[in-house]
Structure 1
Amino acid sequence: MITLPEGAIPNSAQPTLLDFGGIIRPSTGAKILRLDRGGNRYRVAMTLPIRSGEDARRVVSRLLAAKSEGLKVEYPLQGVYQGTPGSFVVDGAGQSGNAILLRGGTPHYAAKEGFWLTIHDGDATTQGYLHNVKAQSIADGSGYMELIVTPNLRIPFPNGAHVELAKPTIEGLVDGDVSWSLAIGELVDSLSFVVEEAE
């Protein structure tokens, strides 16, 4: 999984929830129904600010490599401070649905509605899955907490899997073209890409 060089921070992002469910509209005029399916996930289109040629060279090289190896980028929190969560991990293997039990966090830490988190399928170096906190939850005095998240859990995370709340990431494939514009004065401008969770 490729990461961007130090200091390569997007200056704009357009997140999208990819929803594999849908609305069923009966031809008889009956009540419409919402059909939910598993596998909902996120995609984020990002743009990087103008960069010097030397700095841009490394960014472009990594984005090109990420087309086949995948990309891991910090999810933009827009200046929202998500506190000091401690070292949360998954508390118990095989959980499903939209609730997940965690342990090992900072006692009385508040995960507020709208916070972002990445749940890994092992330690911090393994594949991460981006989620959003649906309802505020507060860890107890021992650092245990139950979180309600969106979308539903996509895999049965193992016991002890790493959870990142301080600096969540989106990890996946670079979708579509990686494009950049060469400006005069050895600058690269309008460097953009899309990262989409693969599972």
Structure 2
Amino acid sequence: MIDLTALSAQASAPRLLDFGGFLTPTLGGPMQRVDRLGNRHALDVTLPPMRADPEGRVWVSRLKRAKTEGAFMRFPQIGLRNGVSGAPVVAADVAAGRTVPVAGLQPRCEVKEGQWLSVIHAERRYLYSVDAGVLAGADGTAMLAITPMLRTALSAGDVIELVQPHIEGLILEDFGWTIDKARTIGLSFTITEAA
């Protein structure tokens, strides 16, 4: 897994990859939403114009490796001001669903609606957004409603990256570059969560 967090990049808002759908009755009944497990995010990244050496050389090298090995990078939360959130972890085993019990938060810490978090389970990061704001209790616990649904079972003690979440995944598209492109235009790529 290639760490792209040390390199500067500008990222657009993520896209939700939705594998669910709508059932539309042929004879005019009500439409029905069918959710399927596996909804996840993709993040489009645009690099600022850079010199071919050293920044362009390093980025091209890491992106080539990330194409086959996968990558992770910081997920931007533009304008979000978070205080100290403690050391959040999953409080109990969770098999499935849309809520995560959290312990280890700073007492009375606010987790805001629309805030992002990543959960590290079995050495893989999963990116989620918070559905409703919540204030941690005096004991540092909270129940977080999230989107999308959990894509893997979580274990008590799994680390939650709340202040600085990350997206982890694959670079699926082919990308090319030229010396001119790396020097004056910048490179772009997309990280798509693999699980």
TM normalised by structure 2 equals 0.93
Structure 1: tracts of 5 or more residues without a match:
none
Amino acid at match of 1:108: R
Structure 2: tracts of 5 or more residues without a match:
none
Moved over 4 A (4+): none
Alignment RMSD: 1.6
**What is the alpha-carbon distance in structure 1 between the residues aligned to residue 30 and residue 10 of structure 2?**
43
Alpha-carbon contact 1:63-1:178 (below 8 Å) kept: no
* Residue of structure 2 in register with 1:33 after alignment: 32
Higher strand share: 1
* Residue of structure 1 in register with 2:101 after alignment: 101
* Residue of structure 2 in register with 1:46 after alignment: 45
Higher helix share: 2
Instruction: Say if 1:35 and 1:57 are closer, same or farther in 2 by CA, change over 3 A.
Output: same
Instruction: Say if 1:101 and 1:5 are closer, same or farther in 2 by CA, change over 3 A.
Output: closer
**What is the alpha-carbon distance in structure 2 between the residues aligned to residue 102 and residue 90 of structure 1?**
5
Alpha-carbon contact 1:182-1:189 (below 8 Å) kept: no
Deviation string, structure 1 residues 62-109 (Cα, Å, up to 9, x no partner): 111001111101112123223321100001113421011010111111
* Residue of structure 2 in register with 1:89 after alignment: 89
**What is the alpha-carbon distance in structure 2 between the residues aligned to residue 5 and residue 131 of structure 1?**
18
Report the secondary structure of 1:66's partner residue: helix
2:138 counterpart of 1:141: yes
Superposed counterparts of 1:59-138, under 5 Å: 59-122=59-122, 126-138=123-135
% identity of equivalent residues: 36
2:188 counterpart of 1:192: yes
Alpha-carbon contact 1:180-1:192 (below 8 Å) kept: no
Alpha-carbon contact 2:119-2:125 (below 8 Å) kept: yes
Report the secondary structure of 2:56's partner residue: helix
Deviation string, structure 1 residues 132-163 (Cα, Å, up to 9, x no partner): 00001111111111100000111111110000
**What is the alpha-carbon distance in structure 1 between the residues aligned to residue 11 and residue 115 of structure 2?**
19
**What is the alpha-carbon distance in structure 2 between the residues aligned to residue 105 and residue 180 of structure 1?**
44
Instruction: Say if 1:137 and 1:179 are closer, same or farther in 2 by CA, change over 3 A.
Output: farther
**What is the alpha-carbon distance in structure 2 between the residues aligned to residue 79 and residue 181 of structure 1?**
34
